[in-house]
């Protein structure tokens, strides 16, 4: 995560830029879908416990960017649909990016599973 130091009213707060996945992170599907399987995003069920965890980071002043691979293989633009979905679920965020590439495994040194937040 990229860190910034900002001062507000004499206090110094360290803020972070936090990228958050959507599917299987803040919403889930009734039946298990293989990693390379097609999801029907209309049937996504929000997980309000996980949404609240990320909303709290937003409220603490961090930059929250939702980053999804929706449409990365199909070429379908899911941005507006996803924005409406996030808004209807009460998700707080600064940006929604739909340019995450498709992958099977993400090896990264700064990532956390939602369970660790």
CB 80 → Mg ion: shortest distance, Å? 20
Query: Which lies closer to Mg ion via its Cβ, residue 50 or residue 62?
Result: 50
Give the nearest distance from C-beta 61 to Mg ion in angstroms: 25
Tell me which residues touch Mg ion (CB under 5 A).
21, 23-24
Phi, psi dihedrals of residue 28, rounded to the nearest 5°: -135, 175
54 class by beta-carbon count within 10 Å (0-12 exposed, 13-18 middle, 19+ buried): buried
| Residue 22 C-beta: closest distance to Mg ion, Å | 7
- Among residues 21 and 55, whose Cβ is nearest to Mg ion? 21
Question: Among residues 29 and 58, whose Cβ is nearest to Mg ion?
Answer: 29
Question: Is the Cβ of residue 23 or residue 48 nearer to Mg ion in the bound state?
Answer: 23
Order across the sheet with 11-20: list the strands.
Answer: 2-8, 11-20, 63-67, 95-97
Contact 73, 102 (CB under 8 A): yes
Cβ of residue 8: shortest distance to Mg ion, in angstroms?
A: 33
**Alpha helix locations (H) across 10-108?**
48-59, 79-88
């Amino acid at each position: 995560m990229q860190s910034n130091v900002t001062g507000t009213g004499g206090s110094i707060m360290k803020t972070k830029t936090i990228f958050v996945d959507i599917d299987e992170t803040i919403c889930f599907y009734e039946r298990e879908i293989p990693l390379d399987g097609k999801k029907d995003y209309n049937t996504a069920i929000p997980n309000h416990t996980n949404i609240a965890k990320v909303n709290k980071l937003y409220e603490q002043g961090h930059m929250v960017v939702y980053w999804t691979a929706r449409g990365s293989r199909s070429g379908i633009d899911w941005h507006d649909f996803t924005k409406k979905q996030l808004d209807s679920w009460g998700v707080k965020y600064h940006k929604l990016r739909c340019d995450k590439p498709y992958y099977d495994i993400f090896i990264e040194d700064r990532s956390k599973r939602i369970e660790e937040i």
